[in-house]
Structure 1
């Protein structure tokens, strides 16, 4: 695999040299070095910031560390506007955590590190990735997985060939820890390449990604956690073709080979295709999966119409992605357009999808998804937006031999049919109110959400409903450098066994002092909630949330930040509804921008 990556890199560089070499006949037209460098130079700029946080809770266990700090930095190195190299780093004294139900402590640290440093130098159309970085080839191969290593991309709008490379560690090794009960994992390394060719209207692209866990004999302890070392290779071809004027066909086809245990007996009769041209070693645990995504679109100046088809095999997986949806087949239609001199924009789509493609599940789910969105902007003072979406899911359960145990099998089958319908309506409005003062601005905003759910199992309906209304008024005074807003929020949720209403006011104010060097903002909301459960008394609660933010410009390059927040919950009717508690957090931070070098040629 490394040989093929080196060949691709050589090919990319060789083609770039050829392009440069083709300008020999134009040397007389080139500018002198002084003219080429005029107005350009070398600069090194960036920023450094640090924050210190204090957290305290009364009435419940701490949900975060009482004290923690974080340092971050960004540096941009620019050489003649041709070579740009951004550098970033972050350091935090505590790792991110997750809830571990097997531990006596609620929050346990992840084993993978979150402190990182990354460099991304760029020269013309070539960009290099160093450190802790991420790249994306396609959604079905390498799709944003973070790795520690090196990567390269090349893409020039005037050159038809483009591509990318990567090599690095996707996961660090985490040994089992019986004290913290962390999540163990093998060290996983990966490499990938992408090569594409584009014209003005069309392109074709090939991608290849491979990942493999490192296994040592001492790692047999991982078997206790049902973990086995895996390997994966994925290939993908993606293309776009303009069939006729305004009609474009886009498609992607991917094949993934996944070995669930690299220790299994190796296959000795692999053919050229199954081994990806001899690049992948398969064994008895290797399985193959495919994914297809295709669309046909008609595009004009004022509207667009298209159809889409997607099919992803059950258990399709790539180790180059954190999360993947598989076992789905979808067909959809979508359209969008503008009218009334672009004052009205409309978008809509409807799709049907189902799972259980290999017919191995005891049930098959069919879903119909439809949505429409309308935006109306008659002038620069009014903005209206309304949307409707409908989600429907059907599940027809195949109980195998279970129905034989029922007294009346035919009726028993009917009770296993399940249907779910969710309808969502949302509307938003913004109105800039008239004002006689150009420095004074007033606006009125509102939003409404209505959601209706209906779960049908057999003959029993489980309806649920959500309503939310938000209304706010805001004012800005540019002369006094201040702004404020006030509003009210109401939410009501109704379910078969529970009904909850939440309402209350909210407000905020912001003002600048000392020639805008000092900026203060204060916001808060006070909500009342009432919950009524079946065969239970009504439960009441009050929640107060306030936030204070302060920014002070110490110098042209330095900003001091102070932030504080308070969350207080009181349940006067019944403490069993939830313990009364108070949370207070406070943080202080400083951000400094700097310019080490800033040379310009005259």
Structure 2
């Protein structure tokens, strides 16, 4: 897109924001102190934490012997009216590489009455089809004049840094510098609302020297326009709709193309530009505690936006939802069922139509027993984290910035907890958790051999707590069975932990023992034994010192390793 077009749009956004601000606030500079009010002029509060990690071992993880993480979130309040909150994250992790999204982050969010600004490394969420939680470096503003029903938001900044193509760096791919802006205007009054979202992002062709065309990485551009509305037809019936269109240019170096409609002529259309649409509507009826609804969603094949990390496309959903408490609210039932089909443009060799649905049931027959069950077969992206990844991790900051999302087509879980006994001094309980996840890679609507993976996880845990002495004990068993393609894996092992509070509960200390063995190709070829010890010391409620030590022994068919990780931390509460 022409940069002057982007600047004009940004100026319009700023004008709307300033106009909305002036509408809601009247400021007289000659009497500023009286407007702020009287009392203590400054109030400062927040929290600061610093952690240093020492590592020594032969596990071959390629970790530095020492690393650090510093996190802080603070707020400065002026005369009880102006807030200046900010947060930051500093780390030595990944210091030898360049990342499109840097691990070190800083943000500040000053606010005065109806205006809130966002500066630094921030994220915005407008809608799933436009901007949805994408982290960028820049600035944003929210203006919401009191009692006006109007809200104006805007963002501008860098969505990703330029990363040169480097054959020695297999961790991060090459990337062009990407800039972008977005705006959202919404008006809500009484029983209706209207909104509009605009988003534009573009890559700088000259931001990197070595063009990674052979890796199919091209400089892109994207413009998205979205409209949404909602109204209450009758006293208990609500209707909501959203329509979005996305113009995605795969390579901005392509030849210009004449637009066939007003939208395509308004942007810098190229021969590599594709136009995609998304539509969603819902109707919901609410009466006392009963909820009934129907929804329709259609997303074109190839629909993408550079303002989101993940978005499913090429689907059409027709759903019906209901929620109802039963048996004097002891049972809470929520269902969402319908049909889904793909291959909307008939470009695939095959297509599929399937029943989709989700069910959530919670049952609480008494104060001692609680249970819940969930099932869903909607295609979605979610984290798959077997419990042994948490049990065997070396520290709490391992893979801190990893986006390990996987497309899940089915997901089910069941849990139950039973209180064996409970008194003022002692509490005993047992809990059971079972979960199932299935992922599939469809080609032409068919799941071929080797493209299906299933994950089964189960755990049972016993807990004993002494309230007066601050002593806690727990023991349990974890098991998982995974099929990844044509391979099968079984992991099973016990875990036990004990903790206690000493010195008038100023120090909390404890230990954790775990062992798990994994079986693959008919052999138990992986054994892991973990010993963790921790201590937390609190000083005058504002200062907290913590120490964690992990010694991990791992035995495989190829080698035996021993890794030691020591984490020392300090937390400080400001103000309060």
Contact 1:483 1:509 in 2 (8 A): yes
Cα offset, 1:218, TM superposition: 7.5
Correspondences of 1:234-249 after superposition (within 5 Å) = 234-249=224-239
Cα offset, 1:302, TM superposition: 1.1
- Match in the other structure for 1:55: 55
* Alpha-carbon spacing, 1:386–1:269, altered in 2? closer, same or farther (3 Å): closer
Counterpart-to-counterpart distance in 1, 2:255 and 2:487: 56
1:73-117 CA distances to partner (integer Å, 9 max, x unpaired)?
A: 2221112332212111222122289xxxxxxxxxx7635422121
Cα offset, 1:224, TM superposition: 4.7
Cα offset, 1:561, TM superposition: 1.3
Residue 382 (structure 1) aligned with residue 381 (structure 2):
no
- Match in the other structure for 1:10: 15
- Match in the other structure for 1:399: none
* Alpha-carbon spacing, 1:426–1:74, altered in 2? closer, same or farther (3 Å): closer
Contact 2:143 2:153 in 1 (8 A): yes
Cα offset, 1:46, TM superposition: 2.6
* Alpha-carbon spacing, 1:41–1:349, altered in 2? closer, same or farther (3 Å): same
- Match in the other structure for 1:184: 174
Cα offset, 1:566, TM superposition: 2.8
- Match in the other structure for 1:443: 429
Residue 589 (structure 1) aligned with residue 576 (structure 2):
no
Counterpart-to-counterpart distance in 1, 2:310 and 2:436: 30
Correspondences of 1:421-440 after superposition (within 5 Å) = 426-435=413-422, 437-440=423-426
- Match in the other structure for 1:73: 72
How large is the Cα RMSD of the aligned pairs?
3.5
Contact 2:101 2:136 in 1 (8 A): no
Match of 1:356 among 343, 351, 355: 343
- Match in the other structure for 2:30: none
Cα offset, 1:189, TM superposition: 1.0
Greater radius of gyration (CA):
1
Residue 172 (structure 1) aligned with residue 172 (structure 2):
no
Counterpart-to-counterpart distance in 1, 2:322 and 2:53: 49
Where structure 2 has 5 or more consecutive residues not aligned to the other structure, the ranges are 1-5, 27-32, 380-407
SS of residue matched to 1:94: coil
Cα offset, 1:207, TM superposition: 0.6
Cα offset, 1:14, TM superposition: 3.1
Cα offset, 1:592, TM superposition: 2.1
Residue 549 (structure 1) aligned with residue 534 (structure 2):
yes
Bigger shift: 363-372 or 453-462? 453-462
Match of 2:192 among 198, 202, 227: 202
- Match in the other structure for 1:570: 555
Correspondences of 1:22-421 after superposition (within 5 Å) = 37=37, 41-58=41-58, 60-95=59-94, 110-155=99-144, 158-180=147-169, 182-216=172-206, 219=209, 221-267=211-257, 271-275=261-265, 278=266, 280-389=267-376
Contact 2:116 2:141 in 1 (8 A): yes
* Alpha-carbon spacing, 1:96–1:486, altered in 2? closer, same or farther (3 Å): farther
Match of 1:518 among 507, 527, 532: 507
- Give the TM-score normalised by structure 1: 0.79
1:39-91 CA distances to partner (integer Å, 9 max, x unpaired)?
A: 76420223332211122333x41253332112222221112332212111222
Counterpart-to-counterpart distance in 2, 1:265 and 1:253: 29
Counterpart-to-counterpart distance in 1, 2:24 and 2:61: 62
Counterpart-to-counterpart distance in 2, 1:463 and 1:226: 27
